[in-house]
Amino acid sequence: MRAPKHVMRLFRIGSFHQTRISFARTLIRRMAQEGWQITAHEKRLDRNGIGRIIYRIDTPRGPLTFSGFSNPLAPSER
């Protein structure tokens, strides 16, 4: 890995190109402009955040469903 003092120089930062992460900014902007509504349809999480959750996302073009889950990891897997 390159040292931060080399990578974080201003002239180098300006040469970075957009990545797939750039899509997230576009999506969030669209969500705000179009007033998407997000509700937790099903939430089965313990106090440590382990479990699953299902979101319903209502958009002008129709509803979407997004599911997420997390499983406990052994300390050796972290």
Report the alpha-carbon distance of residue 16 to residue 25 in Å, rounded: 16
Per-residue pLDDT at 23? 80
Q: pLDDT tens digit string along 55-74?
A: 999 999 999 999 999 998 88
3-state secondary structure of 75: helix
Given the DSSP bridges, would you call strands 51-59 and 37-45 parallel, antiparallel or unpaired?
antiparallel
Is the Cβ–Cβ distance between 67 and 45 less than 8 Å?
no
Instruction: Give the residues across from 70 on adjacent strands.
Output: 51
pTM of the model: 0.59
Tokens at 53, concatenated: 């959750």
pLDDT tens for residues 37-60?
Answer: 999 989 999 988 899 999 999 999
Domain boundaries defined on the chain = 4-72
